Amino acid sequence: MDEGVATWPAQEQAAAIKAGKLSSRDLLECYVDRIERLDQDVNAVVTLNLERAREAAAAADELITLGANVGPLHGLPCTIKDAIETEGVRSTGGAKELAEHVPAHDAPAVARLKAAGAIVFGKTNLPKWSGDIQTYNELFGTTNNPWALDRITGGSSGGAAAAVAAGFTSFELGTDIGGSVRIPSHCCGVYGLKPTWGVISQRGYLDHTKGGTLDVDINVFGPIARSADDLDLLLTQLAGPDPDRAVAWRLELPLAEEHSLADLNVGVWFDDDAAFVDREYRAMLGNALDRLADAGTRVHDSHPNVEFVDQVAVFITLISGAIAPTLAEDVDDDAGIGPSHLQWLRGDMQRHDLRQEWHHWFEHHDLLLCPVMGTAAIPHDHEGSLFERTIDIDDETHSHLDLLSWLGFIGVLGLPAVVVPIGRTAAGLPVGMQIVAPWYHERRAIRAAQLMAPVLGGYQPPPGF
């Protein structure tokens, strides 16, 4: 078998398995071999579950031999971010407190992937409790970017994006509360989807020792893949209500109606005094926009009538409440952690007002294009906490938290966004762009990413992978 199959889009792999041109077992063993040979320097996959995966792959191949009707992900070996509970497989949240945690049940999103035929064979690295833009922890160490080992993969789904980029898995499932799917997709040159809040179940999310039982404000689960087609395929399998709500709730996401770039009417928000973008990345965003316009996209210098800094302030208030249980894990007295309930309610009311402004703007525009974070993947820096670290870019010093502005700004409203690769810097580091859609229109953002891929270049394997 040609090892190049490891970096095929998942949709192509699934079609080959169904046609009998590729076996699930061979694909699994290809990934295991690549992890053994190539992951020592990257450190993306931290737990393997091979005995059960091999049995499942053999059974998947037998069904193909018998001509059985199989699911859309049939036989695809995949890994799952270690913040998501996976039945029978160590799932730690990157924390020593859960070092021996082996869930008895799958998170609903994992169960949906398995029901569609996917075979989970491992878990990928993350920062402790998914709480950093870098991927490292005391249990498993640091994950390095396959494009440049001295650079971050992004966080918190950094092991997930690195595994997809390096060809260690067919696809991944990550989480995103402050950019945790989008930052790693940007840093590793792959596609990532942050869906509308509530579209994909987030039960089973390990953000503290008693996590996984409730929905966390702003947080979502989302797929990471090597093509926009894969995002569409995976969204179809993942979207739906939590099991306890499925008795009464249904979800029917609108289909994308756009058939060409000329059908897209997009606004652009690349610059704001409250959010930095480095000079090289800004030039690349501008070049990508020019290429899209030349290909027929209708581009407008327009964005919602909101103050960037005010919307980020609402994000800070609301995420402070969302992550309060996580922060409380590391202190003896949790007094003063997170906003008061009244402060949170006031922030939620502000969010409602902002949503109305965005809704009005989306009545006249299909999508908004904006940066992912302010620069390409930065060097590793584990000194101090996320709240203390700084980095010098374009002769200015920025907090690591500044890198989250373009991400929390979108996430706080629950808007869907796709990260699409747009090229590589002079140093060879990939960068991406956010395609933001109205609520529940993730298929429109995905369709835009599909249409943009031939113009912008799409996924490319890192050298050596």
> How far is 315 from 338, CA to CA, in rounded Å?
13
User: Cα 423 to the chain's mean position, in Å?
Assistant: 18
H-type alpha helices, 239-375? 279-294, 308-322, 324-328, 341-362
Task: Please name the amino acid found at residue 271.
Answer: D
**What does DSSP say about strands 45-48 and 119-124: parallel, antiparallel, or unpaired?**
antiparallel
Q: Which of 180, 185, 201, 405 is catalytic?
A: 180
- The one-letter amino acid at 425: T
Q: What is the DSSP string of 410-448?
A: HHTTT--EEEEEEEE-TTS-EEEEEEE-STT-HHHHHHH
Say which residues have a Cβ less than 8 Å from residue 62's Cβ, sequence separation at least 6: none
Contact 392, 137 (CB under 8 A): no
Closest C-alpha to 8, from 186, 234, 171, 183: 171
**Which one of the listed residues 24, 81, 128, 157 is annotated catalytic?**
81
81 as an active site residue: the answer is yes
Helix and strand numbers (H, E) in the chain are: 13, 17
CA 204-459-148 angle, 5° bins: 85
Please state, in angstroms and as integers, the Cα–Cα distance from residue 144 to each residue in 31, 32, 191, 262, 282, following that order. 18, 19, 18, 39, 25
Angle between helices 50-65 and 24-42 (to 10 degrees): 150
Residue 212: left if φ>0, alpha if ψ -120 to 50, beta else—which one? Answer: left
Strands 220-225 and 172-176: antiparallel
CA distance 106 to 231: 21
Of the residues 23, 24, 156, 201, which is catalytic? 156
- Cα 358 to Cα 177: distance, rounded to the nearest angstrom: 20
156 is catalytic: yes
Q: Catalytic residue positions?
A: 81, 156, 180
